[in-house]
């Protein structure tokens, strides 16, 4: 019914409702189709942009994740809180959007050996999500590449303390860096 109504009178709001309905029933193919229709009519729909950034990042489609991350960063400053959403929930949504988008842009910069750009983006990511172990881990790697060992160790320590998926690697690199500057000892 929704698709027929949309065919007669297309709108971003109706396309969003249809996309959300397909998402709820687990029809990813239709959900993907309809979120594209939402963006065709409302290219600044931050909720869809954030979702697309996350989905493409999770599927390791870097080019698409980067495309939507950049669109997200462009749309967020001018985004308006939707009616019926309280301030706290909207802030959580926008903070998550910034954190995710900056992390994707930072990861792309790191993969392309642009360490200063990676650092800037990962620092922005952790401003919005303090427990982003992956961002701290990549900050450590980026600072290490720039031979800023104290900053690298600090960020590896943060990644380790959070106990996320990067914890073991962060600890290994932290120990390695600390030993190299402390006579091959972990004392202290």
Long-range pairs, 171-177, Cβ under 8 A, ≥24? 173/140, 173/141, 173/144, 174/140, 177/144, 177/149, 177/152, 177/153
What's the pTM?
0.89
Q: What is the pLDDT of residue 188?
A: 67
Long-range pairs, 58-63, Cβ under 8 A, ≥24? 62/107, 62/108, 62/111
Q: What is the pLDDT of residue 186?
A: 76
Q: What is the pLDDT of residue 83?
A: 87
**Burial class of residue 105, CB neighbours in 10 A (0-12, 13-18, 19+):** buried
At residue 37's C-alpha, the angle toward residues 35 and 42, to 5°, is 90
pLDDT along the chain (188 residues), means of 10: 90 91 92 91 92 93 96 96 92 96 97 98 98 97 97 97 96 94 75
Q: What is the pLDDT of residue 18?
A: 94
Q: How many CA atoms lie within 13 A of 43 on its CB side?
A: 6
Would you say 85 and 77 are in contact if contact means Cβ atoms under 8 Å apart? no
Burial 143-174 (b: 16+ CB within 10 A, else e): bbeeebeebbbbbbbbbbebeeebbeebeebb
Looking at the chain, the number of H-run helices and the number of E-run strands are 10, 0
Q: What is the pLDDT of residue 82?
A: 85
Q: What is the pLDDT of residue 162?
A: 97
For residue 29, give both structure tokens: 């193919």
Those residues whose C-beta lies under 8 Å from the C-beta of residue 185, and which sit 6 or more positions away, are 179
């Amino acid at each position: 019914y929704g698709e027929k109504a949309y065919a007669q009178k297309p709108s971003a709001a109706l396309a969003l409702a249809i996309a959300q309905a397909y998402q709820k029933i687990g029809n990813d193919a239709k959900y993907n189709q309809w979120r594209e229709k939402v963006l065709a009519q409302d290219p600044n729909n931050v909720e869809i942009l954030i979702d697309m950034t996350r989905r493409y990042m999770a599927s390791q489609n870097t080019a698409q994740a980067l495309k939507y991350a950049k669109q997200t960063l462009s749309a967020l400053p001018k985004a308006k809180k939707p009616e019926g959403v309280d301030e706290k929930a909207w802030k959580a949504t926008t903070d998550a959007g910034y954190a995710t988008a900056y992390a994707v842009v930072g990861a792309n910069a790191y993969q392309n050996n642009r360490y200063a750009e990676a650092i800037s983006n990962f620092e922005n990511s952790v401003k919005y999500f303090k427990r982003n172990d992956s961002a701290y881990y990549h900050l450590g790697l980026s600072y290490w590449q720039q031979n800023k060992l104290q900053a690298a160790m600090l960020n590896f320590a943060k990644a380790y303390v959070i106990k996320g998926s990067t914890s073991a690697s962060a600890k290994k690199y932290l120990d390695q860096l600390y030993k190299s500057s402390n006579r091959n000892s972990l004392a202290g």
